[in-house]
Chains A and B, each alone.
Chain A
Amino acid sequence: MNNRVNRRPLIAAATLLGVGMGGFIDGIVFHQILQWHNMLSGSGYYPKTVDDPLTVIRNMQINMFWDGLFHAVTWTSTAIGLALLWRAMQRPDPSHSTQTFVGSMALGWGLFNVVEGFIDHHILHIHHVTEAPNHLVWDIGFIFFGMVLIGLGLSFISKAGRVETPPMAAR
């Protein structure tokens, strides 16, 4: 009789889903609804904060291309996450813990914020959260929010691991 569940496949799948969903939240909210930044809106690339309107439009179209590539990769990450989730559920020892699932998605979203924040905003400077003089506050806040999500996610995953019992079919 199998009296153990393996949570690794579920955690891995939900983490990747969280990365993808976090990427979509960034793209939809910051790039499109608020229009605070785009993929290459940094001052050394194709900023929108220039005087010439035609240059602004040209830069916006260039950014739209790179935003599209970013969304394509985000979509691909989400698709792979869904495939991993499907495979995880087909295992003989699947975890069905909602707390683990939600915690892992939070972990993934937080991972997106921290990694993308450090690489794109602080190392490469291809864009910032907002292309304003006070962008550092927002950039730090973006990473801090990611760390909070990671902490919450790990906490959920840890607590769920202490109480999960195998599904009925495995008992």
Chain B
Amino acid sequence: MKRFIHAVVASAAILPAIASTADACPFCHGKNGVNEVNAGIFNDKFLPTLLAVLAPFPLFLGVVAAIHFGFPVRKNLEIVEAQNERGTNEQPR
């Protein structure tokens, strides 16, 4: 199962690198034969643009991680509440 997942992820990662973006648009070539669509994507602005497009997602993952693992202050409160409830040193989940 893990091998299958790795194969799918690897294929998905390779696909954009080998696929041409403008084969279905023959008149997107400029007068000097340059593929203007590819030139508009894969230029010196590619990396900053990629970062701009992806910018919100680390924030989403950070919020979800904070929900999943709990904030340190909240965890301490849970420990205190659990000890008060049971009168023991048992650790909460």
| A contact face: mostly helix, strand, loop, or mixed | helix
CA gap between A54 and B12 in the complex, in Å: 31
On whether the beta carbons of B55 and A62 are closer than 8 Å, the reply is no
Question: Which A residue sits closest to B27, measured CB to CB?
Answer: A54
Residues of B in contact with A, size category:
20 to 34
On whether the beta carbons of A111 and B57 are closer than 8 Å, the reply is no
On whether the beta carbons of A12 and B68 are closer than 8 Å, the reply is yes
CA gap between A70 and B4 in the complex, in Å: 24
Does A61 lie at the interface of the complex (its beta carbon under 8 Å from any beta carbon of B)?
yes
CB within 8 Å for A15 and B63 given contacts A8-B70, A115-B56, A119-B56: yes
Does A11 lie at the interface of the complex (its beta carbon under 8 Å from any beta carbon of B)?
yes
| B contact face: mostly helix, strand, loop, or mixed | helix
CA gap between A68 and B69 in the complex, in Å: 31
Across the A-B interface, how many residue pairs have beta carbons closer than 8 Å?
81
Does B50 lie at the interface of the complex (its beta carbon under 8 Å from any beta carbon of A)?
yes
Does B87 lie at the interface of the complex (its beta carbon under 8 Å from any beta carbon of A)?
no
Q: Which of A16, A65, A84 contacts B21, CB < 8 Å?
A: A65
Question: Which A residue sits closest to B50, measured CB to CB?
Answer: A69
Contacts of A73 in B (CB 8 A): 53-54, 57
Does B41 lie at the interface of the complex (its beta carbon under 8 Å from any beta carbon of A)?
yes
Contacts of B40 in A (CB 8 A): 46, 58-59, 62
On whether the beta carbons of A69 and B53 are closer than 8 Å, the reply is yes
CA gap between A46 and B12 in the complex, in Å: 26
Does A105 lie at the interface of the complex (its beta carbon under 8 Å from any beta carbon of B)?
no
Contacts of A46 in B (CB 8 A): 40
Within the complex, the shortest CB–CB distance from B83 to chain A, in Å, comes to 14
On whether the beta carbons of B67 and A8 are closer than 8 Å, the reply is yes
Contacts of A21 in B (CB 8 A): none
| B residues lining the A interface (CB < 8 Å) | 12, 21-22, 25, 27-28, 36-37, 40-41, 49-50, 52-57, 59-61, 63-65, 67-70, 93
Shortest Cβ-Cβ A-B pairs, 6 listed: A12-B68, A12-B67, A62-B40, A61-B37, A116-B56, A115-B56
